[in-house]
Every structure is written in structure tokens, then in C-alpha cells.
Amino acid sequence: MQLVDYLDKGAQLGADRPCLTMGARDWPYAEVQRFSHQVGRALAASGVAPGQQVAVLSSNDAAAFACVFGISRAAAVWCPVNPRNGVDENRQVLQAFDCVALLFHSHYADMVQAMRGQLPQLRTLVCIDRALDFAPALADWLSDVDSSPFHAPPAGELVMLPGTGGTTGQPKGVMLSGRNLEAMSALTLMGYPFAGRPTYLALAPLTHAAGVLCLPIMALGGRIVILPSPDLGEFLAQIEQRQVTHTFLPPTLIYMLLQHPQLAHTRLDSLQCFWYGAAPMAPAKLQEALQRIGPVMAQLFGQTEAPMMISMLPPAEHFHADGSVAVERLATAGRPGPLVQVAIMDAQGHLLPDGETGEIVVRGSLVMMGYYKNPEATAEAGRHGWHHTGDIGRLSEDGYLSIVDRAKDMIISGGFNVYSAEVEQALMQHPAVQDCAVVGLPDDKWGERVVAVLQPLPGQTPAPHEVQAFVKARLGSVKTPKQVLLWPDLPRSKVGKVLKKEVRAALLAAAADQALR
């Protein structure tokens, strides 16, 4: 399936039913279809050929998301650009991914103005919401374009080219095929509850997980309610007002939601499935969510290279048959999806038995085609015939996958492997901690020392020595942080992940500054 096939499937189920909703405006499926025909024709007329990359740079916006299906009509490749990136990184993305057209929101006009002079291959610039000196408004660009059916013949399997690789270095483009996203959609629909016509609430960025989760929703003719800004009060209001059935948030935002005063006063009984993922969720917080949000929490584990559904923990599997909470499963990432092969591999390429720890490797039609114009990175990620996730984990005898840590985040202290995620899970059980990050810093005695940076709950100031004793009682002395710091907030990515690289860099800079005094 092409991306636009999900839109067309939804339209078959009800052309007059709402497809996209933002604020007071509903876009019925038929209107989004007409719009996509126009965008596809306009792109083709501007010289965009099938198989070429078209970028979209916008925060959550209904028109920007609808453009994705016009890109697909032109048989072009959707390149979602993260608006929170800096100018240099997004310029590198547009250049490295050979983007020939850019559709952007005026909020990012200064960024586009700064980039465009260095991107000669970027022949088409269109501003989604208003006219600019250097780019026409989308409405004007489409004003004389025919809205009759248009669909260019596909030039290949590639349909989406998101970026990955962190905030420094050369960006890597993940080549996702129609088959990859079809596998993801199939896994979603077979693994999680869907009763009736769904209503999906998108607060998390549509450039990331929240965007591709729209595809299975559209396949059922569902409505996508788009929140343009991450307002948790409005998020709760929309769940009640729109009778939302499905939504997704990263754990950091769920922690903030559990602290929101409006949560206790909001009706949530319409929810069937509240996905969480993109980072580990503290089991203690998850238990609280099951109690206060309801028995609808649903974990997913994936990555850009194998989108969303490597393993799944649907709502029912958070509980035993007798209705009690399955506490032993809450720290896992669920079980591998039925269309995915998952194994644990050692550094020599040997598959390990259940219970042993190694790198999580994956294969199947969920896995990307490779990295764009980067055969070395593609070969490295696919060595020994499996896709290497970069996550360290283990499989239990009953098939549940536990993610111990990112390989790059493992700390070697005193000759022992310390998994930062394990220490973070212990810290998150502390009643005064809202969020945390654990990193390793150079140490003359230990090689690396374990350092914890805590974001306390409002009004709380836990004493470092008391926090150390709390962790020591649970994990022992080797894994106990040698240093505990309190910060009012932690640096986060657009999808809510705590940026440990930035935490570590700030700590190293502070140590260097102190050494110079």
C-alpha cells in the first residue's frame, strides 16, 4: 500500500465522515481526497518526479498532514522534517536526502530563509498557511489546480524517508517502504483493541510515532484529532469532548498528565487504547496510570528503522486472568509481534538462549530497506542477517522482552556493567522523583562513576544521601549513583525523550569549568 491508500480506504468507508479535525474545523475524507489530488498535481506540475523527496516542515497542523497524501499522489517520497532541529541540522537533512520541494509552516519561515540559499536542488518552496516574499501560500499555489483524481505511477518501493542519528553528525535517512508501513499497520490492528470507528487524538508530533499511527486509524475510517500544541489540559478536554478511543504519549508526558489537576475530573471511559512508548516507562508510574487513567494502557516498542511494533503489550496483558495487575510484566516491552522475528545476539553474532542478555535483533517485513545512500551504515545495522537495534535486552521463557538499556548508555564502573535504565527505574520508584537521567562520567577510581540527575516533583527536595540509600537498598552499592543532582527540568527531544547526551555534556562542561577555577 502507498500512503494515500490508507486515506482512500477510509473514504470508501465513509466519504462524508470526518477525517482530520483541528480546532473547530473538520475535514471530511472526501475533502482530504480532493486536496490530495490538487497537491499531487501541483507537485508534478512543479517538476517533482515520482520517487523524488518532498519535505514537510511543520508542527502539528491538519493542512500540513494532509499534504503528506498529496505527496503520495505524486508518487513522491515524504520526508518529515523535525521543526525542533537547528537550522544546520535541517539543512543537512534536506541536502543529504535530496529533497526537491519543501512545504513548510510560516512559523519556520526564518529557518527556511536561512537554509534555502545553500540548497540549490530545492526548486519548490510553498508556505502552508500564508504567502511570503520567497514562497507562495499553499491556497494560492493550489487555486487554479484541478481537483479531479490524480495518481502518478510509483517509481519504487520507497514511500517515507525520516531521519535518525541524534542531534550531531551526518543525518541518516531511514528508507521505509509501503510494505514496512503495511506491516506496522497490520500489527497495530491485530495487536490492540479496535471497536467501532476509532477517534485518535494526536498531541505528540506527527513527524514521529504519532504520525504513522494515523495510518491504521484511517484504514478503519477513523477520525484524527490534531492538537497543534502540547497542552495537556486541552488533551484531556478533547478526550472527553470528542469521545477519543485511541491516543499516544511518551512516558514523560504521561508522568506530567498524572500530575495534572484536571485528570481526576475528566471522563476517560471512551478510551480503548492509550499507547505509550519511545522510552521506558517506570513500572510504578504505569501502575498509577492503570489505576487513574484506566485499564487501557498499551505499550509499543519499535524504532524508526522498524517502526513502532517490534514488540507489544496490549491493555489486557497488563493484567492477570483474575484481574490483578501483572506487575512482573510492567517492566517489559511486551512480546514480539506475530509478524516479527526477535532474538538476542552476542557481540560475535551468536543467538543467545532465553534469559541471557545481549543486543536485541529483529528481522521481517517491518525492517527498513536500509539507510539512504549509506551502504556502510546499512551493512553495519544488518550484519549477521538481522537488524541490530542498538538496545540491550533479554527474552523470558514465556516470550516477554525486557529492554535493559541502550548499548551506548551502558556504564562500566569498577569493571562492572551498570545499565543506566535499571538505575533510572529504581529512582522512579522514589516518591519525590518526577523524572531522571543516569549517565556515566569519567572517574579516576572507577573508570566511570554513576551520576543521577533528578527532576523532583513540584514542592519536593529529596536529599542526595537519602536517594542513594533508596537505590542501594534495591540494587546494591555498585549500581548506586556516586553523585545525585537536582535539576528543575531535564532536556528533552520533541517526542519527550530525556536527552542523556545533553545531560552528560552539561555535566562535563560544569566539571571542566570547576577545574579551571
Each residue's pLDDT tens digit, 34-69? 999 999 999 999 999 999 999 999 999 999 999 999
**Apex 228 CA angle, 290 and 487, nearest 5:** 60
Query: What is the CATH topology of the domain spanning 231-406?
Result: Rossmann fold (3.40.50)
In terms of CATH architecture, what is 410-516? Answer: 2-Layer Sandwich (3.30)
Phi, psi of 73 (to 5 degrees): -60, -35
Topology match between the domains 231-406 and 410-516: no
Strand partners, 56: 80, 103
Each residue's pLDDT tens digit, 444-480? 777 789 999 999 999 999 999 999 999 988 888 888 9
Amino acid occupying residue 41? R
Burial 225-235 (b: 16+ CB within 10 A, else e): bbbbebebebb
Give kind and range of the element (H or E) at residue 41. helix 29-45
Give the pLDDT band of residue 157 (cuts 50, 70, 90). very high
Pairing of strands 199-202, 223-226: parallel
Give the pLDDT band of residue 493 (cuts 50, 70, 90). confident
Nearest to 442 by CA among 484, 482, 491: 482
Each residue's pLDDT tens digit, 260-316? 999 999 999 999 999 998 777 888 889 999 999 999 999 999 999 999 999 999 999
Each residue's pLDDT tens digit, 159-213? 999 998 543 457 799 999 999 999 999 999 999 999 999 999 999 888 888 899 9
Average pLDDT over residues 146-167: 87
Query: What is the CATH topology of the domain spanning 28-175?
Result: Rossmann fold (3.40.50)
- Tell me the domain boundaries of the chain: 28-175, 231-406, 410-516
Each residue's pLDDT tens digit, 365-418? 999 999 999 999 999 999 999 999 999 999 999 999 998 877 778 787 876 778
DSSP 314: -
Confidence at residue 328, expressed as pLDDT on a 0 to 100 scale: 93
Each residue's pLDDT tens digit, 76-132? 999 999 888 888 889 999 999 999 999 999 999 999 999 999 999 999 999 999 999
More confident residue, 428 or 413: 428
Phi, psi of 156 (to 5 degrees): 180, -170
Cα gap 395→189, rounded to integer Å: 24
CA 127, 132, 133, 139 torsion-angle sign: positive
Give the pLDDT band of residue 495 (cuts 50, 70, 90). low
Q: What is the pTM of this model?
A: 0.84
Mean pLDDT of the chain: 92
Confidence at residue 408, expressed as pLDDT on a 0 to 100 scale: 77
Confidence at residue 168, expressed as pLDDT on a 0 to 100 scale: 40
